[in-house]
């Protein structure tokens, strides 16, 4: 009995059959879009072919067979896959484009589309206004040209929006009728008085305090856009700040530390008015009015203090005078001639002030009388 002989062609035929079956199944999966496809480039070699044969014989899943073919496929198998309808490069570009891309209007937000439409209408209105201005020239020129002074700035609104370029002026400013409007802002330093505020101090004393504030508009756009009335708001804020600051001080501090209190108020007002485009340049406290009874009490206290100080000064003067007289008596005792000279000086002073005639007596006679008495 002869043994069956095997040839290289017979041995390689199962491998070719298995490879064709795997490629056919991969092609069907690529056409139906149910599984991954082959990449653009795959490594070549006998190891990859042997791995594909083993996986096909072991009955692996289509995904595993396709991964194996990806690792060990050859150009002939890739061509067969393309002929059967598979796409080794992945999904077709057309399918990806149909799936991912959307029209521009669908991707654009609804608010942007509305804003774009409004801007188109605005341009149409501006064009109409400009057209009527041209056909009514030169009458319309008197409505379109505005004069802004050196110390002023103009904020121009076109259909409710501030025009680009910031504040206009000084000089001539062009305004379109019906679509443009403008607001003038004074850029000079403005001063106002703070009305007298009745304030309760920290030591429970009621006082009336008033002051003055100097401010200037630094940014005209912020002064119009961020607040309705910058002048009124600054005045009200100054009154409130004055009450809040002085409410934390004693009466003695208010009377003695006015400059420090004014500087503190200026810093607080400057920080609060900065978003409004307003700069507070200076704050001063004008007058502090006390109640009548408190004024009388403080006057009595001051008067008593002054009297006590005067008495102390008079007593100190008498004490110093007595010491000086004591020293002078010692000197006169030691020198009788000094006493005679002092006596003559006193007579001269009396004669100059009065018309009385004075007859001086010799000092020696007085000494003799004084010695006899002893």
| CA–CA gap between residue 156 and residue 165 (Å, rounded) | 10
- Please name the residues in contact with 192: beta carbons below 8 A apart, sequence gap of 6 or more: 212, 213, 231, 234, 235, 238
30 close to 83: Cβ distance less than 8 angstroms:
no
* CA–centroid distance for 171 within its chain: 32
Torsion angle of alpha carbons 253, 256, 261, 262, nearest 10°? 160
Q: Tokens in use for 338?
A: 């000094």
Q: What is the pLDDT of residue 212?
A: 94
**Residue 281, helix vs strand vs coil:** strand
Question: If the chain, 374 residues long, is cut into consecutive pieces of 10 residues, what is the mean pLDDT of each piece?
Answer: 40 40 44 42 45 48 55 53 49 42 45 62 84 85 88 90 86 87 92 91 89 93 92 93 91 88 92 93 90 85 90 91 86 78 77 65 66 64
Nearest alpha-carbon partner for 153 in 143, 141, 167: 167
SS3 category, 144:
helix
| pLDDT at 122 (0 to 100) | 80
SS3 label, residue 88: coil
Distance CA 227, CA 234 (A): 11
- Per-residue confidence (pLDDT) for residue 326, from 0 to 100: 85
pLDDT of residue 21: 44
């Amino acid at each position: 009995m002869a043994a069956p002989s095997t040839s290289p062609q017979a041995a390689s035929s199962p491998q070719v059959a298995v490879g064709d079956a795997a490629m056919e199944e991969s092609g069907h999966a690529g056409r139906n879009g149910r599984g991954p496809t082959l990449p653009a480039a795959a490594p070549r070699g006998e190891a990859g072919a042997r791995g594909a044969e083993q996986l096909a014989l072991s009955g692996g899943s289509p995904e595993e067979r396709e991964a194996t073919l990806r690792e060990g496929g050859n150009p002939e198998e890739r061509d067969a896959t393309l002929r059967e309808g598979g796409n080794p490069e992945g999904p077709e570009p057309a399918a990806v484009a149909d799936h991912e891309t959307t029209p521009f209007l669908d991707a654009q937000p609804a608010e942007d589309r509305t804003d774009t439409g409004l801007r188109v209408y605005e341009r149409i209105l501006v064009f109409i206004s400009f057209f009527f201005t041209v056909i009514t020239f030169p009458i319309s020129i008197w409505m379109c040209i505005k004069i802004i002074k050196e110390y002023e700035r103009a904020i121009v609104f076109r259909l409710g929006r501030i025009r680009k370029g910031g504040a206009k002026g000084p000089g001539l400013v062009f305004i379109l009728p019906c679509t443009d409007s403008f607001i003038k802002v004074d850029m000079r330093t403005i001063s106002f008085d703070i009305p007298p505020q009745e304030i309760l101090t920290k030591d429970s004393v009621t006082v009336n305090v008033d002051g003055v504030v100097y401010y200037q508009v630094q940014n005209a756009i912020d002064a119009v856009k961020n607040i309705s009335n910058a002048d009124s708001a600054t005045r009200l804020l100054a009154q409130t700040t004055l009450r809040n600051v002085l409410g934390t001080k004693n009466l003695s501090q208010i009377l003695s530390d006015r400059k420090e209190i004014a500087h503190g108020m200026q810093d607080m007002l400057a920080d609060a008015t900065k978003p409004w485009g307003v700069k507070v340049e200076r704050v001063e406290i004008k007058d502090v009015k006390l109640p009548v009874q408190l004024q009388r009490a403080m006057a009595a206290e001051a008067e008593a203090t002054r009297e006590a100080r005067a008495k102390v000064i008079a007593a100190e003067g008498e004490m110093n005078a007595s010491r000086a007289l004591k020293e002078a008596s010692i000197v006169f005792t030691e020198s009788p001639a000094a006493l005679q000279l002092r006596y003559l000086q006193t007579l001269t002073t009396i004669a100059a002030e009065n018309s009385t005639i004075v007859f001086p007596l010799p000092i020696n006679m007085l000494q003799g009388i004084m010695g006899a008495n002893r």
